[in-house]
Amino acid sequence: MIALLGVLLLLAGRLPGAGSIGKLPGDIIVRRENFTFYFPITTSILASIVLSLLAWFLWRR
């Protein structure tokens, strides 16, 4: 399941408009000379909400 999700994310990156996934307002990016720290907190919250709703709809029966 995790591998399938990874492949879907790779393919989704090629879709138009998909480049903004992971670059939402609220995502934390710290750039220094030889260091970049990226924490997609807003993207993680949004993904959690979407996956929770999907799971709720699938297991509702």
pLDDT digits (tens, 9 = 90+) for 17-45: 666 666 778 888 899 999 999 888 888 89
How many Cα neighbours within 13 Å face the side chain of 3?
Answer: 0
- Boundaries of domain holding 54: 23-61
Instruction: Give the pLDDT confidence score for residue 53 in this predicted structure.
Output: 93
Q: Provide the residue type at 3 as one letter.
A: A
Residue 45 lies in a domain: yes
Give the predicted TM-score (pTM) of the model: 0.61
Residue 12 lies in a domain: no
Instruction: Give the pLDDT confidence score for residue 32 in this predicted structure.
Output: 93
Supply the mean pLDDT for the chain: 82
Residue 15 lies in a domain: no
Instruction: Give the pLDDT confidence score for residue 31 in this predicted structure.
Output: 92
Residue 14 lies in a domain: no
Say how many domains are in the chain.
1
CA angle 38, 19, 4 (to 5 degrees): 85
Residue 41 lies in a domain: yes
